[in-house]
Chain A
Amino acid sequence: MFKEVGKNIQRVDGYSLVKGNPVFTDDIDLKDMLFIKFLRSPHPHAVIKSIDTREAEKMAGVALVLTHQNTPRVPHTTAGQGYPEPSPYDSVMFPRKMRFVGDRVACVAAESPEIALDAVKKIDVEYKILSPVFNPEDALKDGAPIIHDEKDSSGILDPKHNLVGEVEVNVGNLDAGFGEADVVLENRYEAHYAQHTPIEPHIVITYLDENGRLVIRTSTQVPFHVRRICANVLGISIRKIRVIKPRIGGAFGTKQEVYLEYIAAYVTLQTERPAKFELTRSEEFTSRTRHPIITVLKVGARKDGTLTAIDMRILSNTGAYGSHATTVMYNTGSKVLPLYRCPNVRFEGKVVYTNLPVAGAYRGYGATQGYFATESMLDEIAEKIGMAPVDLRRKIHIKEGETSPIFDALGEGKKGIPQVISSSKLPLCIEEGFKLIKWKKKPKEEGKMKRGYGCAIMMQGSGIPAVDMGAATIKMNEDGSFNLLVGATDLGTGSDTILAQIAAETLKVPTERIIVYSSDTDFTPFDVGAYASSTTYISGGAVLKTARKVLEEIILIGEKMLNESKENLKVENGKVVSKKTNSSVTYREIACNALYETNQHQIIASMSHISHKSPPPFAAHFVEILINRGTGKIKVEKYVACVDCGTAINPKLAEGQVEGSIINGISYALTEEFIFNKNGKMRNASFRDYKIFTAMDIPEMKVVLIPSHEPSGPFGAKSVGEVCINGPCPAIANAIYDAVGVRIRKTPFTPERVLKAMGEIEHLKDIHKMENY
């Protein structure tokens, strides 16, 4: 039995957070701070013919104006990924060509934000306007405006057709598969733009330390990638940069981007003054977004539900820059298709530029868009063959001990790695969820309200296999406590706490004896950062190894102090105990012995961890909704999620991940939508007009963690952060069909879209002229 793992230990940072202590990026005061504001492009596609900053520079209180004319032009990707990044090098600090409304023209650093804003207005820019392209299908056509025609970009597959990347994989024999099918269906599904909306927008503060080294204090998921990318863009050595990630106010993928840090850093290097760069809420909306993806899905099945062929073709829209473009595209196949037992599969993906806001990493990372298509389609197949949706789900999913050829064929931006599912309790998740939702066949409702039920199954991964690496250092103090230093990045998930629990369990001490310090490139070992559902599994693996090594050292000293051999010793409650005599030495005595008495040395270890597999967490979701036929409004009444994340290191924190991702997912499915004007400008960039769920909107939630044991994970753990955002879109689409018999294949399911689908209203005058690219 575990003593620390599997327990609802309170967050190690909880006390400071509930007190509102100054622990976030912006909560420090530095003297002589400069404030930075952007001038952004009013045009979706244009070239700067001339730019005159003299009036701005003359203003009292303006320290510096930066444009493409006085900053280094170093092509890079803003995607905070491992090196070399699989995203194209298509960005520079300040481009001469504008590629979406909001692209960065210039910035002003001034004594106050107000002065900076006033000065921005005084910059005179003359643009040569170019034709934009917004529709991703049009962007691929011959003769479409070419968005990236610059010569120094690299990693773009076919710039002339705005094609960032493509992939095609075939396993089995697709034609034969469709030949064997009793039913073949083909449909088109569209998943829309969305923004993460962390309550803390992007913010960075830069300054020079007492030795003149650059310190970047930033709200990021990827401190080590920030250091590397900034060094490259600024043309300075990595050794001259220290990146600190304090507590951060939510991220969900949008802070896996590096694009404000080097600008603030450049201001600091030029002026030798601290600089702060914070996005406004409206800027945050078009900082980074979810890739809108069109999926054309063709599935063949036998009458008994056996899937014989899946042909999935996707077109992903990365907007103006290709951040995470190819990797998200790969993931739409690689994190979705292996869930289904099917011998004949084809996946084809294309990702294109358009003159719309830049997409990036968003919780779910392509899988969310993919599951909307596959899990909607499964219900359509189920109806054709006369099978209950839940029965079809019971039949078609991958099981423990099985593999999928897709694991090998598709990775993240490249070929994958074969793997066998070594832990899955998905069958139990489906049974338990089905029981809890109390699915009623043909529910009868009076009047306008119609009730419907829907379900979906899903998986994700745990880290990127053979890519993601985490490291940990543990050192022992003379009171028998331990400093745990990790590069891993707690973005509010509670990973500092979970990693402390893993260390405590291994070292056989209470978690309170572990002092965690994370995400500081000067003091903590490397970690790729918090993304791809990697922290518990990968960084946790590093902590486990490190703690084991420290424990070996402790036992070695215990041997000498007790004059016993290892075989006769056990470790319990912070003591090394002789099994023979029951005499013992405490950790405190061992640490003091090592530090002050015998063979003096610091008890310390550092270990790194990667994994050659990425064990998927699984989940089954069930939803009950009520639709008002008069207004088209959907009310989610009840949502049940049964989740296999292996061992939940901290069940309460794991539940929190599930609940948070589901509400984010329901909000995405029902109310969140980017509305553009004819110029490609987002018209609703505020919380007033872009509706995210409040406490009033949430349904009754039932979350059940169904433990499995993942042999490759720390204490049997897998990931839990992303998987559940994949469920709400398809589960609700399926429930809509169950309630009113219409199939909506385009998200979000807003009242007008529901009414339109039901034929209750005429084709709405397209108020969202350019919705949903």
Chain B
Amino acid sequence: MQIEVKINGVLKKLETSPGERLLDLLRRKGYKSVKRGCEEGECGACSIILEGKLVKSCLIFAPQVSGHSIITLEGLSPKGELHPIQQAFLEEGAVQCGFCTPGMILATKVLLDKNPHPSEKEIKEAISGNLCRCTGYVKIVKAIKRVGETLNKNV
């Protein structure tokens, strides 16, 4: 079957099957930032943004997103210039192995899009569905705080 879905702002017609998970479709189509960590909705490595909400693509069948708009990490810096969230993650040392990073960055984007002035508690809540085993989250939280502050200055 064919679905129409807007990925990172571009309308795509994609072949899929009723049982294919969105995670598998996206990876198959080259969106490799969408990571496979547990396939049961627990680790958040496969997070994407669906209509402005953070969702786990391993829990969604591909046909379910037909007619919808999704964002993967590839969509954040299409021209190679880093998004302020990516820049902050890089500069604050919020990346170690980098495997949870795509999901973390997208979780951050969803948070800041809705709440440009998050408290530390709100930051921790917003990324609580994304597991990281390397950093202990300390520098991730710091990076997100910093983006929040920079964005505020720009406003």
A523 within 8 A of B: no
Q: Say which residue of A10, A23, A196, A197 sits within 8 Å of B91 (CB atoms).
A: A10
A526 within 8 A of B: no
Interface size class of B (residues with CB under 8 A): 35 or more
B61 within 8 A of A: no
Among A557-565, A660-668, A673-681, the one that faces the other chain is A660-668
B139–A19 touching, CB < 8 Å: no
Q: Indicate with 1 or 0, residue by residue over B126-145, a CB within 8 angstroms of chain A CB atoms.
A: 01111111111111110000
A659–B38 touching, CB < 8 Å: no
Query: What separation, in Å, do the CA atoms of A249 and B46 have in the docked complex?
Result: 13
A596 within 8 A of B: no
A662–B136 touching, CB < 8 Å: yes
A656–B97 touching, CB < 8 Å: no
A249–B98 touching, CB < 8 Å: yes
A18–B35 touching, CB < 8 Å: no
Interfacial residues of chain A within 1-15, with CB under 8 A of chain B in the complex: 8, 10-11, 13-15
Are A17 and B95 also in contact (CB < 8 A) when A660-B134, A701-B138 are?
Answer: yes
A452 within 8 A of B: no
Residue of B nearest to A10 (CB): B90
B133–A692 touching, CB < 8 Å: yes
Number of A residues near B (Cβ < 8 Å) is 57
Residue of A nearest to B95 (CB): A17
Q: Say which residue of A19, A200, A696 sits within 8 Å of B77 (CB atoms).
A: A19
Q: How far is the CB of A540 from chain B (nearest CB, A)?
A: 18
B42 within 8 A of A: yes
Q: Indicate with 1 or 0, residue by residue over B11-47, a CB within 8 angstroms of chain A CB atoms.
A: 0000000000000000100101101111110110100
B96–A656 touching, CB < 8 Å: yes
B93–A656 touching, CB < 8 Å: yes
A19–B82 touching, CB < 8 Å: yes
B95–A692 touching, CB < 8 Å: no
Q: Is the interface of A mostly helix, strand, loop or mixed?
A: loop
B105 within 8 A of A: yes
A687–B98 touching, CB < 8 Å: no
B137–A695 touching, CB < 8 Å: yes
Interfacial residues of chain B within 107-147, with CB under 8 A of chain A in the complex: 123-125, 127-141
Residue of A nearest to B33 (CB): A20
B98–A492 touching, CB < 8 Å: yes
B90–A18 touching, CB < 8 Å: yes
Most A Cβ at <10 Å: residue of B98, B130, B136: B136
Q: Say which residue of B123, B125, B130, B135 sits within 8 Å of A656 (CB atoms).
A: B135
Q: Indicate with 1 or 0, residue by residue over B45-76, a CB within 8 angstroms of chain A CB atoms.
A: 10000000000000000000000000011101
Are A701 and B40 also in contact (CB < 8 A) when A10-B90, A19-B73 are?
Answer: no
Please give, as numbers and ranges, the residues of chain B lying within 8 Å of A661 by CB-CB distance.
136
Q: Say which residue of B33, B129, B131, B140 sits within 8 Å of A199 (CB atoms).
A: B131
Q: Say which residue of B35, B82, B97 sits within 8 Å of A248 (CB atoms).
A: B97
Please give, as numbers and ranges, the residues of chain B lying within 8 Å of A18 by CB-CB distance.
82, 86-87, 89-90, 95, 98, 101, 105
Are A27 and B133 also in contact (CB < 8 A) when A17-B101, A199-B37, A656-B93 are?
Answer: no
Please give, as numbers and ranges, the residues of chain A lying within 8 Å of B101 by CB-CB distance.
17-18, 20
Query: What separation, in Å, do the CA atoms of A281 and B41 have in the docked complex?
Result: 11
A653 within 8 A of B: yes
Q: Say which residue of A14, A26, A492, A686 sits within 8 Å of B134 (CB atoms).
A: A492
Interfacial residues of chain A within 277-302, with CB under 8 A of chain B in the complex: 278, 280-281
A707 within 8 A of B: no
B133–A688 touching, CB < 8 Å: no
Residue of A nearest to B127 (CB): A695
B134–A656 touching, CB < 8 Å: yes
Are A249 and B127 also in contact (CB < 8 A) when A17-B101, A200-B97, A688-B40 are?
Answer: no
Please give, as numbers and ranges, the residues of chain B lying within 8 Å of A653 by CB-CB distance.
93
Please give, as numbers and ranges, the residues of chain B lying within 8 Å of A492 by CB-CB distance.
96-99, 134
A420 within 8 A of B: no
Closest 3 CB pairs of A and B: A20-B33, A492-B97, A249-B99
Q: List 22 A-B contacts (CB under 8 A).
A: A11-B95, A17-B95, A20-B33, A196-B133, A198-B97, A199-B35, A199-B43, A201-B37, A250-B99, A250-B133, A278-B36, A281-B37, A281-B39, A655-B138, A659-B138, A660-B96, A661-B136, A664-B133, A688-B40, A693-B136, A695-B137, A698-B136
Q: A19-B74, A491-B97 are in contact. List 6 more A-B contacts (CB 8 A).
A: A18-B87, A18-B101, A21-B33, A200-B35, A655-B139, A656-B135
